[in-house]
Amino acid sequence: MRKTAVPTYQRRTDNGRLYAAVTLADSKTGRRRTYRLGKYDSERSRERYLQLVAEWEGRGRRLPDLDADGEIAAGGITLTQLCWAYVQDSQTKYSRGHWANIAAVIRVFRRMHGEARAVDVGPNALRLFRESLLRADPDSDPPRRACARATANKWARLIIAIFKWGAGHELLPAGIYESLRTLEPLKRGQTSAREPEPVKPVPEAFVVAAIEHMRPQVRAMVELQLSTGMRPGEVTIMRTRDVDTAGKIWTYRPAVHKTAHHGHDRRVYLGPRAQELLKPWLRRELDEFLFQPAEVVHSLRAERHAKRETPLNQGNRPGTNRKSHPKRLPRDHYTTDTYRRAIARACDRADVEARAAQTGKTVTKTVDSAESAVSLARQLPEAPTEERLIPRWHPHQLRHNHATAVRKRFGVEAARVVLGHRNIDVTELYAERDQAVAAEVARSLG
């Protein structure tokens, strides 16, 4: 079988001197060749490693052609090779969500210009790519709907970032990156592209309705976000080690946060309400995550076992019908995706129950039941999104709820500090303006 592993960056010695090397195999002839890259662990050897492996991958895993100086023969790397080298060098630097965006951008851009030389990609090619994003593509895999204006601008900036990386690693002339930067972004009102709707706080009634259908771990994370304004990615990775319980106000310092690469220190202050929510989840093992999906699975199985009607001496014994090697095991902590999906399922259960009450039907369900939203929905006809009584909402909206409450009571500067923003303009996007002040002015002067 053909090996799919990427050749490693090797450490070798020659008369006591360290040097770097990479061994490549020709996919057609099977011939292997070792390329010396220079001084081990030097920046130049790392760049040469990426160049050679990218060229090797782009040629269908055929050995690259080198000139008399040992450099890759003229012609330049293709866009596919550039993207591959960028992924290999940068895939550990960004969060999972950001990498999903990068993968989607590369997939679409390569479909249009994959075999073209990277040096031939200019502002016009990038402009065509951006315009294609504004149109739906049902034939793509997966099908892609038309992007909003802001998303098209964001994806174009990601392509420019890839070319910036290539210029910085001497894979491309710097002029290519500079020319791409001349492309002006799409502006509001100057294009027919749809505008994304701003993120709004969740109405309290929708939060209360959904909380009743959440597991205790998810419910605790939602209430903590409402009390502190944490980001979803910060509440899901909470550990006892990261919480300083000394003093009347506790301090939580996330091990990983959004602005860590800028050198910013993120601190979340936990007041009496947040402390009461957190106390039951603090653990003896300091490095364990507080909110664990594995415990949810265990409690679900315990509930199902408690509802078992078949005698234990008949039917399946507990655990005998489980897969010995399941493809997916419950993780030791929630991700932002699994957290969002758990909230969406709770919203679905709340909506089914609300529609059942409206139509006079009875839905057999108890709080924290193991019954899924899918089985509940079968009891009532599917409701279009605009007809839902309890719409879906996502955890990032809870941050907007807290920001709005803080701004209304303490002002926008306090909201900026609580949210951990360096720029007050960013806080303006989170904290809804208090319209009561404007209404009072109009009542007095208007």
Q: What is the mean pLDDT of each run of 10 residues along the chain (446 residues)?
A: 71 84 86 86 85 79 67 63 80 69 81 76 87 79 79 90 87 86 87 81 91 93 91 91 89 83 80 91 92 89 85 79 79 90 92 82 48 49 66 90 84 76 67 55 48
The pair phi, psi for residue 442, each rounded to 5°, is -65, -35
Is 322 inside a domain boundary? no
Whether 229 and 376 share a structural domain: yes
Whether 356 and 427 share a structural domain: no
Is 324 inside a domain boundary? no
Crossing angle of the two packed helices 216-228 and 336-359, in degrees rounded to 10? 100
Whether 64 and 103 share a structural domain: no
- DSSP strands (E only) in 27-119: 32-39
The pair phi, psi for residue 445, each rounded to 5°, is -110, -20
Whether 113 and 216 share a structural domain: no
Please say whether the beta carbons of 55 and 67 come within 8 A.
Answer: no
Is 198 inside a domain boundary? no
- Give the total residue count for the chain: 446
Distance CA 159, CA 105 (A): 7
Whether 122 and 160 share a structural domain: yes
- Pull the structure tokens for residue 21: 């090397």
Boundary residue ending a domain (165, 180, 195):
180
Whether 226 and 273 share a structural domain: yes
Whether 359 and 278 share a structural domain: yes
Is 401 inside a domain boundary? yes
Is 225 inside a domain boundary? yes
Q: Domain range holding 379? A: 204-308+329-387
Distance CA 419, CA 426 (A): 10
Please say whether the beta carbons of 283 and 290 come within 8 A.
Answer: yes
Q: Is 98 helix (H, G, I), strand (E, B) or coil?
A: helix
How many helices (H) and strands (E) in the chain? 17, 6
Whether 383 and 407 share a structural domain: no
Please say whether the beta carbons of 369 and 332 come within 8 A.
Answer: no
Q: What is the predicted pLDDT for the residue at 213?
A: 92
Alpha helices (H) along 245-335: 272-278, 293-306
Structure pTM? 0.69
CATH number of the domain bearing residue 237: 1.10.443
Amino acid at site 179: S
Whether 228 and 352 share a structural domain: yes
The H or E element containing residue 19 is strand 17-25
Is 88 inside a domain boundary? no
Boundary residue ending a domain (115, 147, 180):
180
The pair phi, psi for residue 303, each rounded to 5°, is -65, -45
Distance CA 275, CA 293 (A): 22
Whether 268 and 382 share a structural domain: yes
Amino acid at site 387: E
Please say whether the beta carbons of 151 and 109 come within 8 A.
Answer: no
Q: In total, how many domains does the chain have?
A: 4
Is 79 inside a domain boundary? no
- Give Rg (Cα) of the chain: 27
Amino acid at site 240: T
Scan for tokens 């039907």, then name that residue.
361
Whether 35 and 64 share a structural domain: yes
DSSP single-letter state for residue 385 = G
Is 371 inside a domain boundary? yes
Whether 229 and 288 share a structural domain: yes
The H or E element containing residue 226 is helix 216-228
Distance CA 278, CA 238 (A): 10
